[in-house]
A and B are shown apart, each in its own frame.
Chain A
C-alpha cells in the first residue's frame, strides 16, 4: 500500500551506514571532519615542538589523509632501508585500504608482496626476517584477524630477545593492523584488541590519532629496535585529513601528548577515541561554564607514558579514561590502577572508565555500544560533581 505522504516515510526508513554528516547537537559539531585536533594549515602542522626541527630540513607539507600518511611512512622506510620489506594479504595492488598503493611499483615486487592468506604465517615469516636482521613491515588485514598470529606475537616475537639472552632479536618487526569501529563492521571488522597484547612484555603497541601522528609514529615504530604492533583506526583512513610534513621524521614512542591544557579533570584516550573525547570536552566546558579539561592522547599504549598522566592528575585530581574496547581488563583498567597507586592522595573522585560494553562488538547496536560523546561527557560530569 502506498503511504499517503511518501516523503516522510522514505525519510523515516532511510538507513545510513556510511559516515554521514553528523548533526550538531548542543551546538557541538561532532566528527573528525570538524576536529580542531587536525592541522589544516602548513604553519599549524609545524607549530608542534616535536616537529619544529623539520622546518630547518624541509618545511614543506602535503595534504594527506591517514592512509596516505601511512603509505608515505612506508615509502620513506623502504627508501631509507634496503633491508625493509612490506607484505601481507592483498598489499601488492595497494591494499584493501589503499595504504600500500604504488609501493610495489616503486620498490619492486620482491620488497612489496602478497602472502598467502595466513595470519600466523605472516607473523612467523616477519619474525624470521627480523631475526636475521631485516626490517619486516607486515600487515594484518583487520586487527580482528590478528588472533591466529597471537602465538607468534606473544610467545615468539615478544620473547625473542629475552629468551636468547640478547643473542637474537626481532627489533626490525612491525605489524600494522586496521582497528576499531567503522560504523558497520560488526564482530570482525571493529575490534580493538590492544589490551590482549598490553599484557605481554616485550611488545610495543602504538595507535595514532591523525595523519601527522601516523607518519611519525609509524616511522618510529619501524625503526624502533623492538617488535611493534601498530593499530590504525580504520575510520580515520579517509576521514582524518591534515597537512603532513613531507620530510622524514619520527615521533617519540612511549610519550603521550597533551592536546589541551586544563585544570579540573584529566581526560585520556588514544586512536579515534580522541575525536569523541574532544567533543565531550567541548560539551562539558560549554555545559559547565568555568570547567577546564586537560585532554591527553596516549599514542603509545605499551609502554604507556605514566608520568605525563600522573603529572596531569596530580594537578586536576580527576581522571576519565575512554576506549572502544570492552571495559573489563581493558587498557583503562591498567591506567586506572596505576594512577590510583601513584595519585591516591590527589584523587578527588573515583576514576571513570568509559569503554565498550563487555559484549562482542554488535552490528546494529554500534551507536549504543560506543563510548560516545554523551557517555564521555556524562563521565566527566560525574567526576566533576562527585
Chain B
C-alpha cells in the first residue's frame, strides 16, 4: 500500500512536469490490494485502470511499470497505449483498455474457459461504480450467472465517476443490490479495510472455484485523488470533504495503526520503507526516461498476426516519406530494429 502510495506521488508529479503524458492515482483505494493477496497466481485478472496494486502484488517490477508509463522500447505494449494501460502475460494480468465495462463480459468468458479446462482457477474483474452503468455490466453478470462461471466481480464504489457523484449514477442500493437480482452471491465490504477486502475475496474465490459460480463484491471506498491528471476535482466537490476522508478514513493509515498496535510496524520503519521505494523508483524512473521509444516498425506490426499486404505498402510509403522529408520526421528518439 505504501509502495503504491509513493509511486502514485512521484508519477503524479512527473505528469505535472510533463515527463509522462498521463497518470491516474490510487489514493484512497489502496486497501483493494487485499483482493490481490486472496487470489492465486493463476487466477486471471481483468482490470479497469486503477488496479496497479494487483501487478505490484504479483511482482511486476518498478522497471516494468516505468517502461509502460514512459512508452519506451522496453514497454510490453510497444508504446502503443496511454500510460497506466499495463498488461502482463506472465502475471495473468490482461492488458488494460480504456473503454469502460468491456472487460466485464470478457472476464465472464475467460472464467467459462477456465472452468472447461478444469484449471481450478477463477477470473477477477475490477470495475468502478460508474462503469457498472454500462450495458456490458448487465451482459457480463447475467451471462456469468446463467452459464455458471467462476468469476469474481469486484466493484470499487468510490463515490465518483469523474465528476458524476453516485447519486447521479444510480438510485438503487448501490451496485450490490443488483448482484442479487442476477442470482449472484453478493457482499458489500468496507473497501478501506484491507482485511475486509481480503476476507471477502478469499471467500468469493472459494465459492467461484469450488461451486463454479460468480460472486460479486462491492467495496465501498472514496476516491481521494483527482480522477486523472486531466481532471481537477475541486471543480465539482468540496475540498473539505476530500480532506476529511483522507484524514479520518484512510486505508493506509488504518492498516498502519493495526500493525503498530501489533507492534509489527513503526513510524521509523515506514519512513525507511518509503525512502527505499522512492530511491528504487527513481532509479527505474530515470532509466526508463532515458530509453528510446520503440522502433518505428512497431506502428505496423501486431495489427494482425502477420503484416498484411496493405500494411506492408503503407509502411513502405511512410519510410519513403521520412527519407524525403527528414527535417519533419526525426527518428533519433526511436530505437532501431
Residues of A within 8 A of B (CB): 83, 85, 110-111, 113, 115-116, 118, 120-121, 123-134, 136, 148, 151-152, 155-156, 159-169, 171, 201-202, 204, 225-226, 254, 303, 306-307
Contacts and interface: CB of A to CB of B under 8 A. Distances in A.
A225 B308 CA distance: 13
Contacts of B136: 120-121, 124, 151-152
Nearest to A305: B309
B309 A306 contact: yes
B107 interface: yes
Contact of A161 (B111, B303, B310): B303
B218 interface: no
B109 A167 contact: no
Given A132-B114, A163-B77, A306-B310, A125 B97 contact: no
Contacts of A162: 80, 302-303
A167 to B, nearest CB: 4
A167 B304 CA distance: 13
A155 B100 CA distance: 11
Contact of A120 (B75, B114, B135, B298): B135
A167 B138 contact: no
Contact of A163 (B97, B106, B123, B140): B97
Interface of B: 44, 46, 75-78, 80-81, 85, 87-89, 94-95, 97, 99, 102, 104-114, 116-117, 123, 135-136, 138-140, 142-143, 146-147, 298, 301-305, 308-310
Contacts of B111: 128
Contacts of B46: 128
B97 A155 contact: yes
A152 B105 contact: yes
A-B pairs with lowest CB-CB distance, top 5: A128-B109, A124-B105, A121-B139, A128-B106, A125-B109
A124 B99 CA distance: 12
24 contacts: A118-B138, A118-B142, A120-B105, A121-B108, A124-B106, A124-B136, A124-B140, A125-B112, A125-B140, A126-B109, A127-B109, A128-B113, A129-B113, A131-B110, A132-B44, A134-B113, A151-B102, A151-B136, A155-B99, A161-B305, A163-B95, A166-B302, A167-B76, A168-B95
B77, B88, B143, B309 — most chain A CB neighbours (10 Å): B143
A129 B88 contact: no
A225 B140 contact: no
Nearest to B90: A167
Contacts of A151: 99, 102, 136
B110 A132 contact: yes
Nearest to A156: B102
Contacts of B138: 118, 121
A125 B108 contact: yes
Contacts of A126: 109
Contacts, number: 156
B30 to A, nearest CB: 26
Given A164-B76, A307-B309, A128 B108 contact: yes
A225 B303 CA distance: 11
Contacts of B305: 161, 169, 171, 225-226
Contacts of A152: 102, 105, 136
B140 A129 contact: no
Contacts of B97: 155-156, 159, 163
B96 to A, nearest CB: 9
A79 to B, nearest CB: 16
Contacts of A201: 303
Given A151-B102, A152-B102, 9 more contacts: A113-B147, A128-B113, A128-B123, A132-B110, A155-B99, A165-B76, A165-B302, A167-B77, A303-B309
A161 B304 CA distance: 7
B153 to A, nearest CB: 13
Contacts of A159: 97
A168 B87 contact: yes
Contacts of A163: 77, 80-81, 85, 95, 97
B109 A129 contact: yes
A126 B308 CA distance: 24
Contact of B139 (A113, A118, A164, A306): A118
A226 B302 CA distance: 10
A168 B106 contact: no
A202 B102 contact: no
A164 B309 contact: no
Contact of B88 (A116, A136, A167): A167
Given A118-B142, A303-B309, A134 B116 contact: yes
A129 B140 CA distance: 13
B89 A168 contact: yes
Nearest to A110: B116
B337 to A, nearest CB: 14
Nearest to A117: B142
Contacts of A166: 78, 301-302
A118, A133, A155 — most chain B CB neighbours (10 Å): A118
Given A156-B99, A169-B305, A121 B85 contact: no
A148 B139 CA distance: 11
A168 B102 contact: no
A163 B114 CA distance: 23
A185 to B, nearest CB: 25
A167 B80 contact: no
Contact of A164 (B87, B99, B102, B298): B87
Given A124-B136, A156-B106, A131 B94 contact: yes
B142 A226 contact: no
Contacts of A168: 87, 89, 94-95
Contacts of A125: 105-106, 108-109, 112, 139-140, 143, 147
B159 to A, nearest CB: 26
B331 to A, nearest CB: 20
Contacts of A129: 109-110, 112-113
Contacts of B139: 116, 118, 120-121, 124-125
Contacts of B146: 115-116
Nearest to A202: B303
Contacts of B104: 124
A254 B308 contact: yes
B142 A121 contact: yes
A171 B305 CA distance: 8
